[in-house]
């Protein structure tokens, strides 16, 4: 099924959290982020919560946080590219689906900003992983995912 690398070293603990638990937390955060992106993208406009930020900023932050969570767990170059491409496809698909949602409109710029947010989040995950491993004095560890 692939491999993953996480910001912590094997058998390391962080205030009582094992590496496996941290991996599961990042996986859960990524999946929750994906679910929220889909739900909030397809809810009618008058029901959608607003943060007060510009729509593009909301897109960028939501996709970046989701991509960061996913990129910290699935961190081989191929997996990170798949995360970016997948988020671009998701963003485009959701924009098209918004054509049929009352009070919503599809925008190419929304797709672009969302996809760039995904790429930014994956890049931050890559940088965080490199920094964490260099500070711990070891290269990135790759492990088989939990079954």
Q: What is the rounded CA–CA span in Å between residue 146 and residue 124? A: 24
- Provide the domain count of the chain: 1
Mean pLDDT in residue range 40-69: 89
Residue 147 lies in a domain: no
* Percentage with pLDDT > 70 across the chain: 80
Q: pLDDT tens-digit profile of 88-147?
A: 999 999 999 999 999 888 899 999 999 999 999 999 999 998 887 777 655 444 555 555
Residue 2 lies in a domain: no
pLDDT at 140: 44
pLDDT at 69: 96
Domain that holds residue 23: 19-135
In this structure, are residues 66 and 118 in contact, taking their beta carbons and an 8 Å threshold? yes
Ramachandran angles phi, psi of 78, nearest 5°: -65, -40
From residue 47, how far is each of 35, 38, 39, 60, 103 by CA, in Å? Answer: 17, 14, 11, 21, 9
Q: Name the band, by pLDDT with cuts 50, 70 and 90, for residue 79.
A: very high
Residue 9 has pLDDT above 60, yes or no: no
In this structure, are residues 6 and 130 in contact, taking their beta carbons and an 8 Å threshold? no
Q: Minimal CA–CA distance to 61: which of 123, 113, 7? A: 113
Residue 60 lies in a domain: yes
């Amino acid at each position: 099924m692939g491999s993953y690398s996480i910001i912590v070293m094997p058998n390391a603990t962080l205030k009582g959290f094992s590496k496996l638990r941290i991996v599961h937390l990042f996986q859960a955060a990524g999946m929750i982020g994906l679910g929220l992106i889909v739900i909030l993208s397809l809810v009618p406009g008058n029901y959608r919560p607003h943060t007060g930020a510009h729509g593009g900023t909301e897109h960028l932050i939501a996709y970046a946080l989701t991509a960061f969570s996913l990129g910290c767990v699935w961190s081989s170059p191929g997996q990170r590219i798949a995360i970016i491409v997948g988020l671009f496809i998701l963003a485009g698909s959701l924009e098209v689906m918004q054509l049929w949602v009352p009070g919503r409109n599809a925008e190419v710029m929304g797709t672009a900003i969302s996809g760039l947010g995904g790429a930014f989040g994956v890049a931050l995950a890559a940088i965080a992983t490199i920094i964490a491993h260099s500070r711990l004095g070891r290269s990135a560890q790759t492990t088989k995912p939990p079954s």
